[in-house]
Amino acid sequence: MRYRLLLLILVPCFLNAQSIPEQINFILKKTPRTVEKYTKPSKSNVIFLETAFNNAVFKDKELLNSVKDKVILKIELIYTTYRKSETFDQHGLSRKRLENLFLTAPNSLEQSGIEWILIAQSGCQSAEEGKDYFHGFAITYRDLPDVITTKVESNFIRDVTAGKIKSYAYDTYLKRETEKMEKDSVDDAEPVIVLPKFPHSEQARINYFSKYLNFPPEASGPKKVDVQFIISKEGKITQINFPTLPGPSPYKEEIREFIKTMPDWTPGTLNGKPTECMVQFSVDFMNRGSVIPSPLEIFATEVPPKLKAKMPAYDYNAIKPQPSSNQVSKALAKVDWSKATLVCDVTGSMAPYNAQVMEFIAAQLKNKLQAPKQFVFFNDGDNRKDKTKKAGQTGGVYNYTSGNLDSISEFMIYVMNQGSGGDLPENNVEALIYSLKSYPRTEKLILIADNFASPRDMSLIGSIGIPVHVVVCGGTILNEDYLDIAYKTKGSLSFNGTDYKDFYTFEDGSTMHIGKTTYVLKKGHFVQKRD
């Protein structure tokens, strides 16, 4: 038994070790893009893993940790073509850099759909000059949405559904509306105030008041006096005031002299910066010569009113469509919806494609054309903990039947807000199975899928007995799992504006070209052709 366990542990490691050389060979066969000198783009969603001119060691090893939990869209390997020696092996150095990346950030090896690009810098003419050139990896990633992003994306879907903006305005809308919402959240935040402090402690202040605040000798009878003074940003006492006692008075003079001789305070702060504060209290001069000061009331005088500066309005309709715009809408327009069900991934960052779905439905209903009425939306578990997710039992799958545009949109947003997806794999096949149970008379399933998230439950694909047309969203390198879903269900696939049909008739060894990539059918599964 001990030997069997050892074998089970070693086999995955062996398989992964075998896949690293294979993937490196595949990457290094690509034709590099030649530039004189690489310039880092000013984008917030790019991580730069830099090495020295002539080695494969990452300068900032801590930065590697930030790569491990990212949804990676693109990886660029950047190097210089200058060689100090004719025997220098650039491929060998690139190979070592790739090995280090794969071993320290396994998701860069395991994740499907990553676009790999080689960038060769030709401007370097010496080893010394090479020190000023960037060497290493530029990793473009997609973050999981936070609370503000989810809110902005929900509003985006509503605005597209209402016809206020077009779905291809997503990138600009997300950037501007997120900035606006973040600014509003700062404006709405309660100010953080730290009140000024008497030297040493509050007990020291009480003792000081008790010792040095006396009954004036020339005064007669009891008296209550209200007092105010300002503690400046430097902790100095200024602007002593007696709001309820006009004119000269021995009580006022006694209190004034007492306050003037008081030591400097530690100044108060407003949002971390020194601020003026007002101190007010009252002093009871009693019949028998005793003096009783009240507790102090202290507040910042510079708390600003909540005035929100308006950001200039932006005309999102001025944005022009790109050739890649509306590819989801175009794919859906070819479907016979009389006996089809729409199955839609609404997890993190699918909003631009979900908006295209709603844009399509809105146009169909407006023009009194056929539109989907049977829906299944899924979010991979309703924010369930990743380690508890099991194939076919992840949850976060909802069915909905409606021909009302606004109700469809709001239900989609509801499911989206129930869960962002968590880890990268999705419960696509579970959602397809749920669709068959919810709509047993449906004859075709239309799956809107995230190219960067592989199904966690491909083992269940045999349960799908009707064709699935997969509309794959995002990226330029197709995730093979979605080819497999279409192939195994005798369905079809749309990717980047092109439809692929009838490949379910392929025999083992058959190939198909999608974009610039060739896929080959091996033992019932499609894989990228590596040679």
CA 183, distance to chain mean position in Å, is 17
Q: Which residues pair with 341 in a beta bridge?
A: 445
Q: Which residue is associated with the tokens 């290493």?
A: 136
What pLDDT, on a 0 to 100 scale, did the predictor assign at position 309?
53
pLDDT score at 187: 60
Residue 6's pLDDT is what? 34
What are the DSSP calls for 412-443, one per residue?
A: HHHHHHH----SS-B-HHHHHHHHHHH-TT--
Which pair of structure tokens corresponds to residue 71?
């949804």
Query: Quick one: pLDDT at residue 288?
Result: 74
Closest CA to 132 of 55, 226, 38, 215: 38
Place of tokens 């327009």: 333
Measured in whole angstroms, the distance separating CA 358 from the mean position of its chain's CA atoms is 23
Longest dimension (CA), the chain: 113
CA-to-CA distance for 272 and 300, rounded, in angstroms? 13
> For residue 306, what pLDDT is reported?
56
Written as tens digits, the pLDDT of the chain (531 aa) is 333 333 333 333 333 444 888 889 989 999 999 999 999 988 878 999 999 988 999 988 788 777 776 788 899 999 999 988 888 889 999 999 999 999 888 888 888 788 899 999 999 999 889 889 999 999 998 777 778 888 999 999 999 999 999 999 999 999 899 888 887 766 666 788 899 999 989 999 999 999 999 999 888 788 999 999 999 999 999 999 999 888 888 999 999 999 999 999 999 998 888 999 999 999 998 877 888 899 999 988 887 655 455 567 789 989 998 877 889 999 999 999 999 999 999 987 799 999 999 999 999 999 999 999 999 999 988 888 878 888 989 999 999 999 999 999 999 999 999 986 666 789 999 999 999 999 999 999 999 999 988 999 999 999 999 999 999 999 889 999 999 999 999 999 999 999 999 999 999 999 999 988 999 999 999 998 876
- Structure tokens given for 271: 């949002």
Helix (H, G, I), strand (E, B) or coil at 123: coil
The HSE-up count of residue 10 (CA atoms within 13 Å, CB side) is: 6
Query: Which strands make up the sheet holding 33-35, listed edge to edge?
Result: 33-35, 115-121, 71-80, 136-142, 46-50
Q: Exposed (0-12), middle (13-18) or buried (19+): which is 471, by Cβ within 10 Å?
A: buried
What does pTM read for this prediction? 0.69
CA atoms of 248 and 306, how far apart (whole Å)? 40
- Per-residue exposure over 353-383, b if at least 16 CB sit within 10 Å of its own CB, e if not: bbbbbbbbbbebeeeeeebbbbbbbbbbbbe
For 226-267, give the DSSP string: EEEEEE-TTS-EEEEE-TT--S--HHHHHHHHHHHTSPPPBP
Tokens of 517: 């990539």
209 three-class SS: helix
Question: Structure tokens of 101?
Answer: 């990346």
Distance separating alpha carbons of residues 97 and 77, to the nearest angstrom = 9
